[in-house]
Amino acid sequence: MDSLAHILDEARLHHLAGDRRALRALLKQAIPHRVAYYRENLGLTRHAEFADLLCKALLLELDEEEEESIELAELAYVSLCEELKKGDADPYEQRKMRVILLHYFADYLTDSIIEIFLKKYREYNLLQARNLALDSIARMQLSDIFHIEQHYGERIDEDEQLNDICNDIDIAPNLSDQELAEADLMHRVLHAYLKAKYK
C-alpha cells in the first residue's frame, strides 16, 4: 500500500495532466484502503485533498459495494469538516464541496443522520425516518449555501454548479434563523459522530 502523501501527489499530477485513465486507476487502488488513509491523514492533515480524492471516486462511480459508498461519503464529509475547522484552504471551495457531497450523495449519509437524530422514528417507520433525514440534509446544504452567500456573494452568483444545486433542493430555501442554527448544529454533531466512528 502506497503512502497517502504519494497517492495525493500522484492524483494532483494526473489531474493537472488531464490523465483521467491514470486518475481512475489511482482512485481504484486507493478505495480499499480508505479508512487506513483517513487515519494516516489525521497526522498528515491534507484534509481538502483527501476529501477531493474521495469525492472524485464517488462522482466517477468507482465504488462497487454500498458499504464502500457509505464510507467514502462519510470520510469525505468528516475530512471537509476538519478542513473547514482548520481554516487553511479556501473556505468557499470546501463549503461548496460539502454542499455537492450532501446533495449528490445524501443517501449514503442518511443512516448516520437517522442513528444520531431519528432512532425513535426508525423503530416505527423507516421510510419516514429516511425522509426526515433527507430533509435534514437539505437544510444542512442550505445552511452552507446561505453561509457562502453571506461571505462570497459575488462568487456564488457566477457559480453555475451551486446555482443548479440551489434550484434542485426540494425544501423551501427561506430557513429561519433558528432552522439555520439547527442545521449548523447538525453539521457539528454529524462531524463529531463520524470522527468518533473512524477514530
User: How do residues 158-167 score in pLDDT, each as one tens digit?
Assistant: 899 998 998 8
Which has the higher per-residue pLDDT, 81 or 126? 81
In whole numbers, what is the pLDDT of the chain averaged over residues?
92
According to the model, what pLDDT value does residue 90 have? 77
According to the model, what pLDDT value does residue 120 have? 75
Cα separation, 104 vs 25, whole angstroms: 23
According to the model, what pLDDT value does residue 96 have? 95
According to the model, what pLDDT value does residue 89 have? 66
Cα separation, 147 vs 133, whole angstroms: 21
Torsion (CA) 42, 48, 50, 54 in degrees, nearest 10 = 130
Residue 73 structural domain? 4-197
Which has the higher per-residue pLDDT, 86 or 73? 73
Q: Indicate if the pLDDT at residue 121 is higher than 90.
A: no
Please, are residues 3 and 33 in contact by the beta-carbon 8 Å criterion?
no
Q: Indicate if the pLDDT at residue 122 is higher than 70.
A: no
Quick one: cell of 44? 498528515
Q: Indicate if the pLDDT at residue 190 is higher than 90.
A: yes
Cα separation, 129 vs 123, whole angstroms: 9
- What is the phi/psi pair of residue 45, to 5°? 55, 40
According to the model, what pLDDT value does residue 129 have? 86
Domain count of the fold of the chain: 1
Quick one: cell of 151? 461571505
Cα separation, 62 vs 40, whole angstroms: 22
What is the arithmetic mean of pLDDT over 110-128?
83
Of 54-68, 97-111, 158-172, 185-199, the least confident: 158-172
